[in-house]
A and B are shown apart, each in its own frame.
Chain A
Amino acid sequence: AQKVTQTQTSISVMEKTTVTMDCVYETQDSSYFLFWYKQTASGEIVFLIRQDSYKKENATVGHYSLNFQKPKSSIGLIITATQIEDSAVYFCAMRDRGSALGRLHFGAGTQLIVIP
């Protein structure tokens, strides 16, 4: 069965520093897709970044990057130069090829608090 685990419930960092949020996953599939989403205080869910399991290079989008360690089934999200507006809940999600038409499995989320 597919499972996504985020063990950090809350992280506080100073503005302009770098933060890493952890995520580990379980899947029987050899090919799968990993996503990070952000849920703002208003409840809006925003897609941030994606990693395809067959790619060795870590994905990077703006000040978001991923630390993909396939042997450890780990996909960490790294935010550099954090800003106040990065304060939100961050969800890791996985979709494998065995899931018909794109069912996402979400982790419990990590709340990020950026302190000015």
Chain B
Amino acid sequence: GPKVLQIPSHQIIDMGQMVTLNCDPVSNHLYFYWYKQILGQQMEFLVNFYNGKVMEKSKLFKDQFSVERPDGSYFTLKIQPTALEDSAVYFCASSLEGLGGRYEQYFGPGTRLTVL
């Protein structure tokens, strides 16, 4: 099926540092998402993004988080500064259509973020 790529697969950083997680969504998809999964738990929605704008975000999407996709390049999640509780696996997803909800989201392999 369609492939979403994420770079890096694993990132270890010190608390307080900035980190950028990169996502290469499916080429013709228009809607982009980030989800967070703490080890052994269910995935939780963070944010969705369309046409250069954040459309919806959850309470997990703290002020230290930001997303962008400059000029159709990577869809990024930036955390600045990081905190210990940000340690998790972050999954990027993309879909062809978001509104109406019919089109399934395709997920990347995740980036495991470890904050020390």
Q: Are B43 and A91 in contact (CB under 8 A)?
A: yes
Q: Are A102 and B98 in contact (CB under 8 A)?
A: yes
Q: Are B31 and A102 in contact (CB under 8 A)?
A: yes
Set B41, B45, B50, B110: member contacting A104, Cβ < 8 A:
B45
Q: Residue B105 at the A interface, CB < 8 A?
A: yes
Question: What number of B residues sit within 8 Å (CB to CB) of A?
Answer: 31
The chain B residue sitting closest to A35, CB to CB, is B104
**Complex contacts, B98 vs chain A, CB 8 Å:** 100-102
Q: Are A102 and B105 in contact (CB under 8 A)?
A: yes
Q: Residue B48 at the A interface, CB < 8 A?
A: yes
Interface residues of B in 75-116 (CB under 8 A from A): 89, 91, 95, 97-107, 109-110, 112
**Complex contacts, B104 vs chain A, CB 8 Å:** 35, 47, 50
CB-CB nearest 5 A-B residue pairs: A101-B98, A102-B98, A45-B107, A95-B101, A101-B55
Residues of A within 8 A of B (CB): 32-33, 35, 37, 42-47, 50, 52, 91, 95-97, 99-109
Q: With A45-B110, A91-B43 given, name 20 new contacts (CB 8 A).
A: A32-B101, A35-B104, A35-B105, A42-B109, A43-B109, A43-B110, A47-B1, A52-B102, A99-B101, A100-B48, A100-B55, A100-B56, A100-B99, A102-B98, A102-B103, A103-B56, A104-B33, A106-B44, A108-B42, A109-B42
